[in-house]
């Protein structure tokens, strides 16, 4: 064992990163992980589930599976705080993902210290993955569950591994629906292998488990299947960079087929990836680990490329698979150069650079949350029972506005209520929503007549309807 590996044994220190980052962000900037409409919607759903289980009405309609808010609601019964429950679910899931990644490497016979080092240098300090380990979103919980499904599916020593893998896979899909594409390759591999070895009784049990999992998943994600964007999965989107959807008009720099390759080279995902790709050999791709990881990442990214959107967050589940494919290259590099002094210096440098990139990646989230807090205080100070707004209606509720909020995106407003407030950012929304309901509603408010309560430097305008 080289001195580098001997010095890198406490890989588990990376498990403290989301806890430390969460604490620092909260104490320094009062950031509680709520940065966009989805995060606030998860908090709302978790609160509604908690109220429902206590005897209230059922939760409202949502385009997201309820696995993540349900986990946060369950944990809130123990700690008494729904938001904290959701944040703990995300942090624990990040830790679970890191542990699963290392366990997969150990299962194939990797050196323990070397596997720990690689885990720490890749997904353990990946800027984008850590960023989503400290916010209220379902991505990291889904990744953690899916990686444990991959671990048991790869191992498949007996039927128990296959059944556990199915259970983890089904739970991952109940947390985030696109994970169905992610888990498909390993489920096919594990189930086919189990059927070949199983007795008649075991085959019946396995079939029952698959059917039960499919039924439960279908029931839990029924609302998510109605999402408008989900109906626009087209192969032609791979070659397009401009889209006109229910989410407005988007123009990107490159077509989707190139964009979805970001997890293979972008430092926000894997800083070491560009260094390791030249050391990968054709024979490395013949291993069971590399084949399944490549199939998982490839199938998932192909699926993303056919969606009319580009989002770094959606690419995150491919990150661990890309890192697993590159494991053989890292092992080769360390075998050849791991004992040299320059590589001993490189380890803390890689960690430091990725932590700096994490700080840069999380900064816009913190600023967006701060803006939403200020908008909520602005609206509450203006005094109104009804607010028409766009993009922040969920945040207004989270931050204490008790009146009625009407989303300018959902429906055309023919007549605005007198004395109601209209909160909108016409400059930021002019291009994306040109000719769409939000901009049209804003113009109707101006035509009907409204007085300007105030204007912020970032473009937000608050009106009071006459």
- Per-residue pLDDT tens digits for 353-412: 999 999 999 999 999 999 999 999 999 999 889 999 999 999 999 999 999 999 998 888
Axis crossing angle, helix 112-121 with helix 82-107, rounded to the nearest 10 = 140
Share of the chain above pLDDT 70, in %: 94
Span 125-137, average pLDDT = 97
- Longest C-alpha distance within the chain, in Å? 77
Nearby residues of 13 by Cβ (< 8 Å), 6 or more positions away = 120
Tokens read off for 438: 């939000």
Tokens read off for 113: 């210290």
For residue 2, name the pLDDT band (cuts at 50, 70, 90). very low
Q: What is the pTM of this model?
A: 0.93
How many other CB atoms are there within 10 angstroms of residue 245's CB atom? 14
pLDDT on residue 8: 45
Closest CA to 224 of 109, 61, 71: 61
pLDDT greater than 70 at residue 188: yes
- Per-residue pLDDT tens digits for 206-228: 888 888 878 877 776 666 556 65
Distance CA 257, CA 249 (A): 19
Span 127-152, average pLDDT = 97
Closest CA to 424 of 402, 455, 451, 403: 455
Contact between residue 48 and residue 59 where contact means Cβ atoms under 8 Å apart: yes
Distance CA 391, CA 438 (A): 10
Distance CA 367, CA 39 (A): 15
Q: DSSP letter for 462, please.
A: E
Span 459-464, average pLDDT = 96
Closest CA to 410 of 140, 228, 263, 256: 228
Contact between residue 130 and residue 94 where contact means Cβ atoms under 8 Å apart: yes
64: left (phi over 0), alpha (psi -120 to 50) or beta: beta
Closest CA to 294 of 328, 334, 248: 328
């Amino acid at each position: 064992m080289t001195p580098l590996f001997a010095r890198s044994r406490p890989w588990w220190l990376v498990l403290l990163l989301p806890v430390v980052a969460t604490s620092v962000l909260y104490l320094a900037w009062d950031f509680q992980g709520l940065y966009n409409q989805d995060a606030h919607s998860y908090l709302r759903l978790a609160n509604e589930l908690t109220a429902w289980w206590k005897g209230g009405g059922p939760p409202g309609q949502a385009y997201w599976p309820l696995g993540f808010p349900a986990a946060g609601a369950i944990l809130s019964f123990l700690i008494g705080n729904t938001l904290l429950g959701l944040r703990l679910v995300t942090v624990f899931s990040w830790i679970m993902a890191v542990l699963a990644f290392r366990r997969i490497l150990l299962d194939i016979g990797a050196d323990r210290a070397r596997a720990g080092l690689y885990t720490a240098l890749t997904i353990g300090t990946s800027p984008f993955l850590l960023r989503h380990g400290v916010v209220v979103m379902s991505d990291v919980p889904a990744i953690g569950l899916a990686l444990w499904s991959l671990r048991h599916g790869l191992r498949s020593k007996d039927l128990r591994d296959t059944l556990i893998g199915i259970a983890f896979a089904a739970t991952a899909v109940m947390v985030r629906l696109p994970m169905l594409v992610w888990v498909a390759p390993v489920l096919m591999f594990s189930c086919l292998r189990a059927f070949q070895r199983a007795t008649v009784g075991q085959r019946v049990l396995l079939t029952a488990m698959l059917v039960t999992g499919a039924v439960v998943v279908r029931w839990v994600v029924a609302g998510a299947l109605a999402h408008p964007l989900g109906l626009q999965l087209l192969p032609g989107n791979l070659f397009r960079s401009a889209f006109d959807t229910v989410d407005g008009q988007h123009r990107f720099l490159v077509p989707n087929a190139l964009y979805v390759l970001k997890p293979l080279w972008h430092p926000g995902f894997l800083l070491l990836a560009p260094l390791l790709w030249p050391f990968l050999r054709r024979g490395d791709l013949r291993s069971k680990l590399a084949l399944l990881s490549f199939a998982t990442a490839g199938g998932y990214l192909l699926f993303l490329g056919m969606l009319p959107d580009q989002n770094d967050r959606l690419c995150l589940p491919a990150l661990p698979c890309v890192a697993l494919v590159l494991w053989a290259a890292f092992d080769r590099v360390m075998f050849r150069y791991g004992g040299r002094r320059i590589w001993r210096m490189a380890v803390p440098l890689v960690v430091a650079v990725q932590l700096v990139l994490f700080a840069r990646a999380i900064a816009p989230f913190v600023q967006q949350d701060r803006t939403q807090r200020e908008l909520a205080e602005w609206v509450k100070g203006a005094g109104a029972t009804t607010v028409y707004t766009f993009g922040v209606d969920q945040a207004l509720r989270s931050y204490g506005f008790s009146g009625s909020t009407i989303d300018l995106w959902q429906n055309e407003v023919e007549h605005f209520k007198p004395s109601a407030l209209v909160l909108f950012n016409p400059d930021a929304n002019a291009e994306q929503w040109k000719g769409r309901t939000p901009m049209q509603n804003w113009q109707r408010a101006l035509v009907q007549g409204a007085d300007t309560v105030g204007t912020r430097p970032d473009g937000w305008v608050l009106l009071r309807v006459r």
